[in-house]
Amino acid sequence: MKRDLLYSASVMCARLLRLEDDLVALEAAGCDELHFDVMDGQFVPNITLGFDFIRAVRSSTGLPCSAHLMIERPERYVERFVDAGCHSVTVHVEACTHAHRVLNQIRAAGASPGIAINPATALTKLDYLLDSADRVLVMTVDPGFAGQTILKGAFERVRILSENLRYRKLNARIEVDGNITVRNAALLANAGASILDCGTSSIFDGRHPGEALVDFREKVALERKLV
């Protein structure tokens, strides 16, 4: 089943000193959701964002907020992220001792559960989790920093995962995060991805973010017909 592409703006890459302006522009341009990369300096070598930051953003926009928890023991914080206003919470399979329990915890808290997987982790680690998640976030770079180059295996991983979901008649969306350029977005979307996390490679490149999103969306639609 071919799905419409959803464009998720990576807040970590926005102009933080002019964040409200960027949020207004993105909402007016038809952005589908805001993507919050939450890092603890332990699971990944960086520290970013948090509950109060997300809560402040929620007061400035009507866009849905999705939290991508790149943190150890995420089960300790699920309810706090939902309380802060996240409609979706994604945790890493590598960070969860009992991943089923955490996905069920997210749904019980009132949010949509997602499961993320790092580039070096075998896709088979997801086999018994796919029916408990609404989205699967395939990292196309090693997590932790913006501005990296996509890893070549990302396209094949998305294709294999998409075929697995289709074969099992599961409805989880595939999300991709890392170096989402126009060409990479088109290739990943054609392979089965339906949520694009847009950062410095796509919409936060110094241009007006609303105009950049409109331009990026149009170019991806055209590029998908060419690749």
- From 22, 32, 177, 197, active-site residue: 177
- From 22, 37, 40, 197, active-site residue: 37
The residues facing 91 across adjacent strands are 69, 115
Above pLDDT 90, what percent of the chain? Answer: 91
Kindly state the tokens that stand for 92: 């890493």
Residue 85's contacts (CB-CB under 8 Å, 6 or more residues apart) are 54, 55, 57, 58, 65
Report phi then psi at 203, rounded to 5: -125, -20
Can 37 be counted among the known catalytic residues? yes
Q: What is the pLDDT of residues 120-165, one digit of tens each?
A: 999 999 999 999 999 999 999 998 777 789 998 999 999 999 999 9
Going by C-alpha positions, the residue among 162, 223, 153 that lies closest to residue 194 is: 162
Q: Are 68 and 92 in contact (CB under 8 A)?
A: no
Q: What is the pLDDT of residues 93-128, one digit of tens each?
A: 999 999 999 999 999 999 999 999 999 999 999 999
In the chain the domains, ranked by start, together with CATH numbers, are: 6-224 (3.20.20.70)
Can 134 be counted among the known catalytic residues? no
Q: How confident is the model at residue 25, as a pLDDT?
A: 95
pTM of the model: 0.95
Q: How confident is the model at residue 171, as a pLDDT?
A: 95
1 pLDDT more than 60: no
What span, in angstroms and rounded, lies between the C-alpha atoms of 181 and 171?
A: 26
Q: For 67-83, what is the mean pLDDT?
A: 97
